[in-house]
Amino acid sequence: MRWQGRKQSSNVEDRRGQGSRIGGKGTGIIGIIILLVGAYYGVDLSGVVGTPQIGTAAQQSSLSSEQEAQLNELSRVVLADTEAVWADYFSKRGSRYTPATLVLYTAGTQTACGTGQAAMGPFYCPADRKVYLDLSFYEDMRKKLGAAGDAAFAYVIAHEVGHHVQNLLGILPQVNQAQQSVGKTQANALSVKLELQADCFAGIWAHYAVNQKLFEEGDIEEAVAAAEAVGDDRLQQQAQGYAVPDSFTHGSSAQRMEWFKRGMQGGDINQCNTFASN
Ligand SMILES: [Zn+2]
C-alpha cells in the first residue's frame, strides 16, 4: 500500500508504554458492548462480552522499534483515509462525520467499556467512540491467523471504523437493543449481520483505496485474505478443530470475504444492507 509520507489523522491517542493494569477490581469487560474484529481466544463476541482469557495479555511486544514506527504511521494514515471516505458520505447526506479516536496502547488499557486487553484483538467501544489497537496485533495476524501485510492490517482498522459508522448511523444501538429481547442463537445471527456490515463498510474504504491508487499489486488479495482469516469457521477450526455455526458471531470466512468485496466493488453503502439478506 502507498501510505509512507501521506496525510495522518490527528484523531489518535497514544497510550503506548503506559503499562497495563490488568488484574484487581473491575478487570475485564463484562456485560458491556464492544465490537471486535474476530472471535479470538475464546472471547465471546455476541455483543455482550464475557471476561476475556488473559494469558497472553502481559506479553512483550515482539515488534522491532522500526516495525512499530511503521505500523504507527500506517495506522494513522489508514485512519485519515477512512475519515476522508466517511466525511464524504456524511456530507452527501447533509450531515457531518464525527471521527472515531484511535487509541494505541500496549497490553491493556482502560476504556469506557471496561479494561481493554490486547488478547481480545482490536476493538471498538461505542460508549467512548474509540477504536483500541495494540500494534502487536500485526504479529498475531501474521503468526496466528496467517494474514500478513499492510493492506491486511489496514482492513482491520477499516472494519473497526465501520463499527463506529454503524454507531453514528444508529444501527449499532438498534441492533444491540434487539439482541436483548431474543435468544442466544438469534442474538448471534444479529451479531453476524452487524459484523458483515462492518466488513462491507471496510470494503467501502477499499473502494476508495483502489480509486485513489493506494493499493499496490497484491494488496486487494491481502485485504480479502485478512477478511477470510477472521471468519468464525476458520477461527473455530483452529481453536477447537470444528466449527459450530450457531455460535458464529462474525460470519464465515466466505461471508466475510463476500461482504468485504461487495463494499469494495460498489463503494456504495446501500449495498451493505446485511440485515435485508439471509
Ligand atoms: Zn467487528
Condensed to tens digits (0 to 9), the pLDDT of residues 184-194 reads 999 999 999 99
* Residue 39: per-residue pLDDT: 75
Residue 21 lies in a domain: yes
Grid coordinates standing for 147? 494474514
CA of 149 to the centre of ligand 1 (A): 20
What is the arithmetic mean of pLDDT over 130-154? 93
Ligand 1 mean position, distance from CA 214 (Å): 24
CA of 135 to the centre of ligand 1 (A): 17
100-126 pLDDT per residue, tens: 999 999 989 999 998 888 888 899 999
DSSP class of residue 141?
I
Q: How far apart are CA 51 and CA 81, in angstroms?
A: 33
| DSSP class per residue in 93-145 | TTS---PPEEEEESSEEEETTEEEEGGG-SEEETTTTEEEE-TTHHHHIIIII
Distance from the alpha carbon of residue 156 to the mean position of ligand 1, in angstroms: 9
> At 12, which amino acid appears?
V
What percent of the chain stands above pLDDT 70? Answer: 86
Residue 4 in any domain: the answer is no
- How far, in Å, from the CA of 124 to the mean position of ligand 1? 8
For 215-230, the pLDDT digits (tens) are 999 999 999 999 999 9
Provide the residue type at 47 as one letter: G
In this prediction, residue 54 has a pLDDT band, given cuts at 50, 70 and 90, of: very low
Measured in Å, residue 15 CA sits from the centre of ligand 1 at 22
Residue 5 lies in a domain: no
Of 55 and 76, more confident: 76
| pLDDT reported for residue 138 | 92
Q: Which three cell numbers stand for residue 44?
A: 465471546
Q: Separation of 35 CA from ligand 1 center, angstroms?
A: 5
Is residue 198 assigned to a domain? yes
The DSSP line for 75-93 is HHHHHHHHHHHHHHHHHHT
The answer for residues whose C-beta is within 8 angstroms of residue 70's C-beta and 6 or more apart is none
- Does residue 264 form part of some domain? yes
Residue 263 Cα to ligand 1 middle (Å): 15
CA separation for the pair 211, 13 (Å, rounded)? 29
CA of 249 to the centre of ligand 1 (A): 9
Q: What percent of the chain has pLDDT over 90?
A: 72
Total domains present in the chain:
1
Ligand 1: centre distance to CA 37 (Å): 4
Q: 21: pLDDT confidence band, cut at 50, 70 and 90?
A: low
For residue 36, the CA-to-ligand 1 centroid distance in Å is 4
* 6, part of any domain: no
Task: Establish if 109 belongs to a structural domain.
Answer: yes
Whether 3 is covered by a domain: the verdict is no
Neighbours of 248 (CB within 10 A): 23
Enclosing domain of residue 51: 12-276
> What are the tens digits of pLDDT across the range 91-100?
999 999 999 9
